[in-house]
Structure 1
Amino acid sequence: MDNALVRGPRYAVNCSILFTELPLLERPAAAKAAGFDAVELWWPFESAVPDDAQVERFERAIRDSGVHLVGLNFAAGDMPGGDRGLVSWPERSQEFRDNIAVTLEIGERLGCRAFNALYGNRVDGVDPAAQDDLAAENLALAATAAATIGGTVLVEPVSGADRYPLLTAADAVDVITRVEHESGVSNVGLLADLYHLAVNGDDVDKVIAAQADRIAHVQIADAPGRNEPGTGTLPLLRQLEDLYTGGYDGWVGLEYKASSTTDLSFDWLR
């Protein structure tokens, strides 16, 4: 939607959760036709290391649509099946590491500089502390590589996944702080999804006030339901105003499920 209509936030359509009535590679063009200039996506391939032809088709879909790619997830496993990232998953750690280069190459070519590294669920039979050690190591590797293109690695609290250990902003900031202290990187930031934070019981207003210097990307959905703003009870527009007043100048990803048709789910912007 024309960002002049909203006077502040710059909105990006999450094409992994919106326009799902269309094939994935047609969604960026649909976002552009709806009036948006930017999109973000979860990892858009089945494999952590897709072949060159798959990558080229994806990049062409972004370029031909005329939108900017402003956010991209690293490979996170089978999201519909319940996976929530590979960063702390010992059996798939090498898969994450192999994915770093291809993710950043796509980002470099398309001008994307924000990369979400979903932490991963707790694994039966594995010491949580060992998973956290592995996650810190993998995040440092990703951040070191991302720094070469001016990129930022994002750490996100998530709701609706019982075995995902990062529930609050404080949980994520603890991870970020550890990575910074242990590896010396400075390009790991908080992905503040206001829906996930609220559903998990975080005080979103306090997060916005206390973590202004940590928030590197924002996503929104209303609650209950995870639909567009105005369908639930969250004060999202006021919270976005607080974010921008507090100095945030990045994109806001529309990571919600349309309550009816996708096009109608943008009416709140008018």
Structure 2
Amino acid sequence: MPAGEIEVSMAEEEGIKIHYLTSPVRIFGGHDKQVTHLECIKNRLGEPDDKGRRRPIPIEGSNFTLPVDTVIAAIGQSPDIGFLSERFGIKVNHWGMPVIDPESFMTVRKGVFAGGDCVTGPRNVIEVIADGRKAARSIHKFLTGQEKQGYRFYYKDQAPFGRMPNYEVTPRQKQNDLPMKERWDLNAEVELGLSKENTFKEAGRCLLCHFNIFIDEKCVLCGGCIDVCPHNCISMISRENVENADALCDEGAIPGDWDAVMVIDEEKCIRCGLCVKRCPVNAITMRRFAYSEE
């Protein structure tokens, strides 16, 4: 059964011993109906399937027993949605999950909507929340007959623009956990979150991908921004080597013999803002991508 790195480290921290590539076979108990031993078998990884997953294969003769007094079955969970097809006639796929319209999230039964893990299987919480928002819009339209207003997207100038010192090398901040001796109380929260200081540090590590660099027609092609860029993501390229150059601005600050354009690799950019500070004519601005409901 797969587990995340954090789950493994926290389990080992609490004294749990992990037997890798091991499967339970039988549970033994005494005359008092109390479990006494758990028989297990070792496995080896088989060949990758069409999805690249290597399934465990039992190794014959590798059985062994562990002395135990309690056995907890923890093999994962899935939603119990068998009643949907049986009682309500909702069509399901071969995995037993509801079939929906990908745009409206409506099932084959009019007025019944579905989304999230019960439709696609386990995903991250952000994607599931997005399903809920999209489905809510469809439900609103179904009930009222009116399309809910969309979003307006725009860029907003961000001036002055500043960053936390050394943000690009600041490590991930570790949250505070409850001391081990206090964790036996099952009503206590183990993960206490970040302190105020570490919260600010963690927030400061954000690479601000929703910020973009804009270079306007005041640019004098001095190359100063190229000199200060720590990741070499700004380039000055001859206009004749740019596709669809006719769509670019034809007027610059200084007409010259060399016709060039400035190109920025947004994937390499770390939003340090040095190019904004270096530009002698304030041709470079940082603008924040934003949206609002119309």
**TM-score, normalization: structure 1?**
0.18
Greater strand content: 2
Greater helix content: 1
**TM-score, normalization: structure 2?**
0.17
